[in-house]
Chain A
Amino acid sequence: MKKKELSLDKDGKFDISFVLNAKELKVKISGDETLLELIRRLGYKGTKKGCDTGDCGSCTVIVNKKATLSCIIPAFLVDGCEVTTIEGIGSISNPHPIQEAFVEAGAVQCGYCVPGMIMSTKALLDENGSPSDEEIKHALDGNLCRCTGYVKQIEAVNIASKKIKK
């Protein structure tokens, strides 16, 4: 029987195991902890909290290849899953082509929305290497940006798609 039960231990915590940025982790979580709270608690502060109600997209991460809002998913649901955050995409010394493309297109101003935008872009380009502008708009629909005005992100995704294909 595949059924598994997640039960509280004596400190009122659950044990879950999952893969975070290619690293296997076993962690204790509380039942009301969201994935966003968990990854930030583990030190991955690249993922931002904007609204905490699923409206802004700044907390977007990738769970089993799909763009997912970490603020509205309970942490225990990722038990056994593969999670990627912005830290798993690239670093300052070794940026991912998508990150380079966002800088080149000038799609970064204050930067708060950018980790979420990049995760949505990564999920899109992994599934569809040459998206149309309409498909890009559709994929980034849930990522709000107060600074840039949404045109440059589309440019950035187009640049990224070309860079990745090279």
Chain B
Amino acid sequence: MPEYIEKYYTLKDLWKSVKKLPSDRKYLAGGTDLVISLSCGNDKSSVWLDISDIDRLKEIKEDGKNIFIGAAVKISELESNPLIKKWASALSECVKYYASPSIRNTATLGGNYANASPCADGVLALAALRAKVMLNLYDKRRVVDILSIVKGPKKIDLKKDELIEGFIVSKEERKSIFMKMMHRKRFGIAKAGLCMCYKLEKGKLRDVSISLSSVAPSVVRAKKTEEYLEGKNPSKAQTKACQLIREEISPLTDIRSTSDYRMRIVSVFLSRALCSI
């Protein structure tokens, strides 16, 4: 149980005081993961730093080239925000499959990323969007590729106190398709998921990126399949692409699904995606 909670409204205040706090400190955004860790006895930190109201972390804004989505943006906001719908529609689409409205009103995109679950829907969309993550440590920023610091469930290469400030998605006119197989329709943790972003020029696929969830220790990209699809006609490339994508993954069998079923689902998803283009 945390002994106290510090609530912040600006990054400046956070960096001013954070180093003075006891070292077993932890950021808190929506709390949907943290509270469950606490009730399972897995969270032993003595201070929680509530960052959910830091203005910068709640921003969604654009400049000439990119859009910026703050880490404390709630999942429910991704559904209707016009900038996200226009430039990062994979994120708006993932909301349809993301838990229940009441979870979406609480959970944040930054928390979804920090949790680094192999089935995280927000991460699946960000990976297909080829987003970058902006990290901030004592007011020094670094920007890295979205999957480059994700190492496995709950394992993410962040330095002590390093804060996820937000995500950067470049403004590209790409379409997106999001698919997720769950135990219950439209609710719950993915048995497998696929997100694809692409352009279609004169009937040919361009600039394809495909991400997959729940088939590896973290969300992954299907790079060989992406390369194969470049410049191809979607329906003609279907058979080979579906075979390729199965060769790219080696999912586990666990309580949610079997390895074989996951392989099949991923290839069925890709085939449906290519048929729908």
Contact = CB atoms under 8 A, between A and B. Distances in A.
Please determine whether chains A and B interact with each other in the same assembly. Answer: yes
Interface of A: 1-8, 14, 30-32, 34, 52-54, 57, 60, 63, 66-69, 72-74, 76-77, 120, 123, 138-139, 141-143
A67 B36 contact: no
Contacts of B106: 68-69, 72-73
B138 interface: no
Given A3-B9, A6-B4, A32 B102 contact: no
Contacts of B100: 57, 69, 141-143
B153 interface: no
Interface of B: 1-10, 13, 28, 31-32, 35-36, 38-39, 50, 52, 76, 96, 99-103, 105-106, 186-187
A32 B38 contact: yes
A5 B102 contact: no
A69 B102 contact: yes
Contact of A66 (B10, B31, B76): B76
B7 A54 contact: no
Given A57-B102, A67-B102, A74-B35, A5 B6 contact: yes
B101 A77 contact: no
A5 B1 contact: no
Contacts of A69: 100, 102-103, 106
Contacts of B28: 74
30 contacts: A1-B9, A3-B7, A3-B10, A4-B7, A7-B4, A8-B3, A8-B4, A14-B5, A30-B1, A31-B4, A53-B36, A54-B99, A57-B102, A60-B102, A63-B105, A67-B101, A68-B105, A69-B103, A69-B106, A72-B35, A72-B103, A72-B106, A73-B31, A73-B106, A123-B101, A141-B186, A142-B102, A142-B103, A142-B187, A143-B100
In terms of DSSP, what is the predominant structure of the interface of chain A?
mixed
A142 B5 contact: no
Contacts of A68: 102, 105-106
A77 B100 CA distance: 20
Contact of B32 (A30, A54, A67): A54
A63 B35 CA distance: 17
Contacts of A120: 101-102
Given A54-B36, A76-B5, 19 more contacts: A1-B13, A2-B9, A3-B9, A5-B4, A8-B3, A31-B4, A32-B38, A53-B36, A53-B39, A54-B103, A66-B76, A69-B100, A69-B102, A72-B31, A72-B32, A120-B101, A139-B101, A142-B103, A143-B100
